[in-house]
Amino acid sequence: MMLSIRDLNFRYPGASADALEQVSLSAARGEVLGLLGPNGAGKTTLIAQLVGMLAMQRGEIEIDGQPLEQLRLTRPTCIAIAPQEYAFYPTLSVLENLDCFAGVGGLRGSEKAERIDACIALAQLQNYRKVQGQRLSGGLKRRLNMAIAMLHRPELVLFDEPTVGVDPQSRAFLLEAVKQLAREGSAVIYTSHYMEEVQAIADRIVVLDQGRVLCQGTLQDLLVGAATLYVEVDDDTAQERLVPLLSGFGPTNVQGRGALLAIADPEQLPEVLRSIAGTGLRLRQARYGQTDLEQLFMSLTHRSLRD
């Protein structure tokens, strides 16, 4: 594992609760780790500590066994971030921005020119070299952020919700570029509250909520044992009557006109259905199957990712 985070805790000065609580996770080269969580889950706080924008309080962060503080002194360009906000000089052109950041990071001569070209190509900014940063569309600005982040061939790249407010075309492009980075051998951490994005690009997923890791694993790991039963009954008071009944079997949520029950073992199904019938409620539909991440999140927290 290249990145290892152990028992990370963080509380903002004056806050009454921890923004991160006992967070442990790891990331490997060649892998996209999706960091998924609703607003306020702690994603940005975690990223900010990884890039040194926030000082660590408690816990450990190591890269290839080396503590983060040490790494920052010896190999400062080994971690890069493509942040949410725009991270370039608005009045400089795309090329001037890249030139400037390449110089700051210590690139010189032909190597510098080569890296700038490679990053322009990677972010497909060939037609915008001479355009001022501030004149780029939202999607292109994110692509410039990304090009800058790639200049020094970082080994760990952090993307903090890079597709928020981006047009669909740039969004598809960004996602593809993120996957490409991992294929080329970087470890990539990608935060988002768009479940579909994370599901589409992440090799492994960490679900954060209220500063804590709810679960982590491959998508398949997470969804196995996360099957749900959706039932709808022919009654206006259905939810009031269904939820207490189903809760006896497992985590239950109200959904639409019915209720959703997380039920890992299909052998329980007949018993659940019998007990519904036993109350005299008429079943309108019952649907059993593997869930997606959204439903998994709901079954773990009783809330939606999008709240």
Ligand X SMILES: Nc1ncnc2c1ncn2[C@@H]1O[C@H](COP(=O)(O)OP(=O)(O)OP(=O)(O)O)[C@@H](O)[C@H]1O
Name the site residues for ligand X (rule: CB under 6 A). 12, 15, 19, 37, 39-45, 193
Nearer to ligand X, 81 or 151 (CB): 81
Residue count of the chain? 307
Nearer to ligand X, 151 or 305 (CB): 305
Q: Closest distance between ligand X and the C-beta of residue 305, in Å?
A: 10
Q: Closest distance between ligand X and the C-beta of residue 40, in Å?
A: 4
Cα(136)–Cα(239) distance, integer angstroms = 50
Q: Closest distance between ligand X and the C-beta of residue 9, in Å?
A: 12
CB 145 within 8 A of CB 86: yes
Q: What are phi and psi of 12, to 5 degrees?
A: -70, 145
Structural tokens at position 250: 């497992």
Q: Closest distance between ligand X and the C-beta of residue 39, in Å?
A: 4
Q: Closest distance between ligand X and the C-beta of residue 67, in Å?
A: 22
Nearer to ligand X, 49 or 295 (CB): 49
Nearer to ligand X, 15 or 73 (CB): 15
Nearer to ligand X, 43 or 152 (CB): 43
C-alpha dist (Å) from residue 88 to 36, 101, 147, 155, 156:
26, 9, 11, 21, 20
Grouping H, G, I as helix, E, B as strand and the rest as coil, residue 266 is: helix
Q: Closest distance between ligand X and the C-beta of residue 292, in Å?
A: 19
Nearer to ligand X, 37 or 258 (CB): 37
Cα(105)–Cα(108) distance, integer angstroms = 9
C-alpha dist (Å) from residue 123 to 39, 113, 188, 192:
28, 16, 16, 20
Between strands 227-233 and 258-262, the pairing is antiparallel
- 70: which residues sit within 8 A by CB, 6+ positions away? none
